[in-house]
Structures are given as structure tokens and as C-alpha cells.
Structure 1
């Protein structure tokens, strides 16, 4: 598949809106377009899907390796994939937008905030192009997409100042309707606050889809196509509702490839399905704490877990499996499986790529095995003094700075999110099938 990367000069320059406008412009030009996201993210991809109608693929060398992101990039078919970057183009100690562009051998279109600049926008773009040589990275910055740029003299001044080799890919106009509301963990999700269609269509009119098509190129293909995995007889119940929605498309697909999957809603008070194991993804349990406490599902899940049903929870799933969750409106009883109390904080408690080493055999790894993932949460866990941990933290914060993965009965709850490419979910369904 062909593609290109939208890299920003910094966080907050409007990469998500630019990506949506580019996807809309390409679709309006008759292109069967897909999207992707450099780095771990569940929120931006939800906006991508709202515009393209297809899953947005997470592309992160730390989580998946080069072969993994190449395989993931090439899923779903389509004519072209637009990859939204993370932070600034070169930012990120183990996984940057530049790393993703290099791994996929794709050109970079630089998204620049042009609200208060003209010639300086060109100078910024030139600096980003030349910095690749200084950094020793094979990055091809091919041009500029100007955010917050008016038409007329403003856009003309930027375009005319661009040196040879840096193309003008258009502009996104300043428009309050193009602002996506934020909360902790980032933007509101795509189905909660989609951009107004009229505003997005207007923004797309300023994007040069023809030039983007000319600049796009075939992504590097994996030398290793990946091994075929046998289907198991496991039955997995996956929580899926407003509280549990941070699940990579690749994870859902891997579970369905290898097991029989049913979904249920703890927020709605659904009964726990008949299954061999339960997966609680991350999400926003803090926004639905009262419903979770009163709905009965978590009580039933706690009883099933005490009887030995394997349960895997990630981040929000860990929170729901704990004894209690304290939010602004009080303390709410959770499933009571894991010996910890959870409290929400005003600032994030962890934000990083992580690496974990399994202390003993657990649901997602063999003893001594390692898992790579990421963590981003505003909650803080206070484990009981006799709590047992499944992992030592080699990179990141985990639960207490040194450990992650509270474990009790056959239940495991981590702050780390891991990708299907880690092998963790293969291990999970194989344990259930065993």
C-alpha cells in the first residue's frame, strides 16, 4: 500500500485535524483512503475511523518491531494510508514519528502552525528537513501543510518562501468548529465529538490532494510475513462499552482469529457471558464508576474470578478489578478481585513506553519473559501490603515504580497496555485453551 506521514513540528500543532482534512480531501478525490497513528494511541484513531470508516492502525516500533508495523500498515486493503505522527517529528526516545517514517520508508509532510508566521514557516520546514542528516536518520521531509493559515497573502507568502524540494500541500484555515474538545488522556473520542461535516469539508478544500498523491509512495514490505497461528477452542468474553473501549483493532482481530469472542457491557449491567476467560480493556471507568458499582456485573465477575475464572485487565480494566475507585463524586466499590484501592489524580501519573519482565508464569507471559507496551493514566493504585506482582518494571513506572501486574487467583491487572504483536494475547488464549 502507498502512504505518507503527517509529522508535526511539536505537540499541539493540529496534526489530528490535519490528518482528518487530508483523509477527507483524498476521499473526495476518489481515493480509497485509510489512516494510521504513529505511537500508542486509542483516541486519535477513533477520529480517523469516523472519517474513513475503517480501523486506524497503530504503528509503533517499540510495541511491534519494524516487521510488525510493516505488516500492520498493509492490512485492510485500500489505496493509500495517511499516518498521523506523535508529538514533534523527532520527539520520542524509543519510538518517534521519524522512526515510523524510516521503518516504512514513507515521505513526511510537515504540519506547521502558521498562525503567526510566513517566511519563518519555510525556515522551520527547512530546518526539519536538514535535521534528519544531523540526526543520522533517512527521513524525507517533502513539504508543508500549514495549520491555522488564512488564504490570500498569508498562504501565498508561505508558499513563495518555500525553498526548492519543499512542496506546498495546502492549508487548514483557522476555524473554531475544527477544535476537538479535550479531557484527561487527550481528546474526546471520535464518536463523542466528531468534527462537523461542513467544517471538515471546507478544510479539505484547502488541501492539495493531487500533490499528496504525487508525493505518496509504496511502503516497505516486511521480509517476514509472520507465522500463521492455530485457532484454539477458547471462549473469551471482552468488555466493550463506554468504560472499556481502549483496545487496538489488531488485538480484537487476534482474539477473534484464535478464539470465540463475545462482548458484554459492565456499564449496562450485562451478565458475564459463559466463557473460559475475560478481557477488560482500558478506557474510562472513572466516568462510569457509579454505574459499574451498581450494575451487578463487577460483583458477578468478582465471584467468578474467585472461583478461578482467568481475567485479564489493562489499565481501566485493572481499575475495575480493584477493591474501590475514588473519583470526584466519591468512592465506589469495584469487583474486589485485586487487593488495591484506586484514586483519580489531577495530573497524569505515568506516560511512557514500558518494558516488563515476568516474575513467574502468568496469563500473558512465561516466567522470565518480557513484554513491551505503554502506560498513560491519571489514576493511582495503592496496593495492599501483601499484594503480589506479576512483573518487574525494566522501563516505565508500572504500579509502584518497580512492579506492574497485580495478580490474585487467576486474575491479572496491569497499567501497561500491550499490542497483539507482543504475543501476550496469543499466550492468554492458549492458557485458556489449556
Structure 2
């Protein structure tokens, strides 16, 4: 079984060091040099991958040990295509108890290219890289720091000072020049989606030109092969409708792959007012329903979905999907809009995030995504809260994470389920969902 394309992991010294910009510049440089790039992202992220896809032209793969387990992570990586995989890390290299960048690199046995902010340093860049390399031994992690990319580094004496200070066994992979155009504007839940705010082509090309692309390509190594391939499913006649538009845009490529492996998939746009397709079940992924609340209210699609759910059509919603399944959604400006009214809840947006964590849930009874007593893992990151009716029924107790009320997640009504938790296909939750249809 193939382990996927050779690759390397871009690890940062901290959050905000410029890993996304470095990833995009490296992908651009590799593509310009004739390599087909498979992008990937360590950690549960939907937004950075949209930028990856805009540059590399293929969906970015999510690599998270908490969500997928070791073999699931390797399987997900192995489904990548192209000549070289460029994996963008999450936070600092060693940060995160559930699935750090270092843990992902170790599981796949891929080398780490360290992104270091060199704005006000030269020899200190080498000292930082040495410290990150040696720290792996201190904590017992088998992580190879192969070299550095100097973020926000000038050329000339600045670049030469960084290069000359590095020991011979740490490669200098080039620099990203300081450029105000290489900034991605913030939005709650992360950054702007790639198709909404792509980096200027000229600035990205300029950054690509200052990278040592031959050295980077040579640094890529083969990943560990998964122990077991994904089990093949028997042919089924199930049809799943997936909401797909600007309001429902947070979904992993692996989720759609799993659906397509096991069912007929059709997409529709609630924002555009598409009718709900003839199907056996509906999946509402996360996204930004609050930015499109007025359009969702007036389109008629959610009203139709609410009626169909009341007649027994299973609807599965995650985060933004949960919000759309509620009775109402109140934006941060105080405007209230009617939603599908499938679930007995009213959702309100806030200025600060309400939950951010890896999550573990235990099913109280059998539900759309888990058997009674079964545990599933996912993640949550949301700026809204849900006010639920006193007699509302929850599908899960939260073992880790906040969920809806601190102790529970998964509102259930009719044959439908809405959670704040996002899960990956490797959790088995979507297999269970398809089996219920």
C-alpha cells in the first residue's frame, strides 16, 4: 500500500510566525518548478486549507491524531496525490496535548522545516533552530528538524548572517521577505477563506523566488505506510444531500470522500434557495450562517428542510449546521432571523469565541453518529451559544470539551442531530450516519 507522496512538515516556533504564508510561498515555488503539490494541514482547520487549495489546485488534507488516530492519520495522508506533500503545522511545533505538529511529523516520520521569525535576529535564528531540534530529545520525540525558513528576513547581510550561523547539519531553505501584502486579514473562527482573500499573486511570486526550492524538494521523505487500508464498503443505494455554499463551507475532503465511497452525493445551496434534493439524509457542515442569516431566512430552503425533518428525513448538522437547524439565529448586531426550527434552541452570536478545544463525546443512547455508550472524538471552535428548551434531548455527554451546555452536546429531535462538535471521517461517525439512512 502506498504511503502517499514524499513530504515535509512546516513547523513554527509559535502561532503567528507566518506558517501559512510560508506554506503558500513554498507551494507556489514548487508548482512553478514543475512539481505537483499536495497540501495538508496539521490540526482541525478549515480556513488555512482553503488557501492551500487556491494555490496548489487540490484539496488540502487534514492531519490530526486526536481526530483520526495514528493509522487513520496515515491513511488520510496516503490518499494524497502529487509529487510532494507540504504539511502546514499548527501553533508552535511542540504545542498541543491532543495532536501537536511534532506528533504529526513523528507519526508520519516526515522531516520538519522550522519557520522562524527573523525580523530582528540573525545568529539567534540558528540558536532557536538548535533549541527546537534538541528539545525533541529532551521530551523523547523522534522528530527531525532538518533546517529553517527565515520569515520576514531581508537579503544581503541579514540573510548571509542567518545562513552562516547555522550548523552544517541544519539546512538553510531560504527566506520570506517582509511584505505587508503577505498578510491574511483576521476573521472570527480564524482567517478569511482562500477564495475570498487570496494573497496578491505578485507578492506570493516574490516570496517564492527567495526560497531554496531544490533543497526543499530534496528534503521531502517518504511517509510511514498505514498498517491497514480503509475497509471497502458494499455498494449501497443511499443518497446524501450536502449543503455547500458560503454559509456551509467547513467540511473535510475526507468526509466527502467517505460519503462518495459509500453513497450517491448531491450538493445544494440553501443560500441560493435551492430546493432540498430528493435524498435519504442531509448533511449541514459548519461555516458562516450568521453572515448569510437574512438570505437563509428568506430563501425558503431551511423552511422546507424543517418540514422534511419533521416528516422523518434525517438531518445531521455540525456547528454552523446546528445553528441553521435551530429556531432562530441572532447575529452579533442583534438582528434575529428564523432558521429551520428542527431543534428546540435559539442561537446567539458573540464577539468572543465560546469554545475552542479537542472534544470527546459519549453517546447517551444510540444516535445518528454513534451507538449507545460509544465515544467519538472531534473538535469545537465557535462564537455562538445555544439557549435550549428545558425538555430538550441531548445525544451526548461531554467527556472533554464544552459542547452545548458544558456537560452535553448533540441536540436531537425527530431523526435529526445537531452538534457543536466537528468530526473527521476517520472517527467512524459518518459511517454510522450512512448506516442509519
TM-score (normalizing by structure 2): 0.98
Q: Secondary structure at the match of 1:217?
A: coil
Q: Secondary structure at the match of 2:181?
A: helix
Runs of 4+, deviation exceeding 3 Å: none
- Maintained 8 Å contact 2:42/2:101: yes
Quote how far apart the aligned CAs of 1:381 are.
0.9
1:405 aligns with 2:413: no
1:8 aligns with 2:26: no
Q: Secondary structure at the match of 1:178?
A: coil
Query: Partner residue of 1:282?
Result: 286
Query: 2:73 and 2:39 mapped to 1: Cα distance?
Result: 13
Query: 2:58 and 2:383 mapped to 1: Cα distance?
Result: 29
Q: Secondary structure at the match of 2:114?
A: strand
Select 2:259's aligned residue among 237, 252, 255. 255
Query: Partner residue of 2:321?
Result: 317
1:383 aligns with 2:381: no
Query: 2:289 and 2:218 mapped to 1: Cα distance?
Result: 45
Quote how far apart the aligned CAs of 1:26 are.
1.2
- Maintained 8 Å contact 1:353/1:396: yes
Quote how far apart the aligned CAs of 1:329 are.
4.9
Query: 1:300 and 1:368 mapped to 2: Cα distance?
Result: 33
1:224 aligns with 2:228: yes
- Maintained 8 Å contact 1:232/1:430: no
- Maintained 8 Å contact 1:232/1:429: no
Select 1:236's aligned residue among 235, 240, 245. 240
Q: Secondary structure at the match of 1:394?
A: strand
Select 2:430's aligned residue among 400, 425, 431. 425
Query: 2:107 and 2:435 mapped to 1: Cα distance?
Result: 31
1:37 aligns with 2:41: yes
Q: Secondary structure at the match of 2:9?
A: strand
Alignment size in residue pairs:
432
Q: Which has the higher mean CA deviation after the structures are superposed, 250-259 or 97-106?
A: 250-259
Query: 2:137 and 2:330 mapped to 1: Cα distance?
Result: 50
Quote how far apart the aligned CAs of 1:309 are.
0.7
- Maintained 8 Å contact 1:122/1:162: yes
1:51 aligns with 2:55: yes
Query: Partner residue of 1:140?
Result: 144
Query: 1:184 and 1:230 mapped to 2: Cα distance?
Result: 41
Query: 1:74 and 1:52 mapped to 2: Cα distance?
Result: 18
Query: Partner residue of 1:202?
Result: 206
Structure 1, unpaired ranges of 5+: none
Query: 1:168 and 1:37 mapped to 2: Cα distance?
Result: 23
Query: 2:132 and 2:20 mapped to 1: Cα distance?
Result: 20
Query: 2:235 and 2:64 mapped to 1: Cα distance?
Result: 26
Query: Partner residue of 2:159?
Result: 155
Q: CA RMSD in A?
A: 0.9
Query: 2:227 and 2:313 mapped to 1: Cα distance?
Result: 39
Query: Partner residue of 2:115?
Result: 111
- Maintained 8 Å contact 1:6/1:110: yes
Query: 1:54 and 1:203 mapped to 2: Cα distance?
Result: 21
Quote how far apart the aligned CAs of 1:164 are.
2.8
Quote how far apart the aligned CAs of 1:77 are.
2.4
Q: Deviations over 1:265-295 (max 9, x none)?
A: 1111111111111110000001001101111
Query: Partner residue of 1:267?
Result: 271
Q: Deviations over 1:94-130 (max 9, x none)?
A: 1000000000000000001111111111111111011
Structure 2, unpaired ranges of 5+: none
- Maintained 8 Å contact 1:234/1:430: no
Select 2:173's aligned residue among 169, 172, 175. 169
Q: Deviations over 1:302-360 (max 9, x none)?
A: 11111111000000000000011111150111111111111111111111110111100
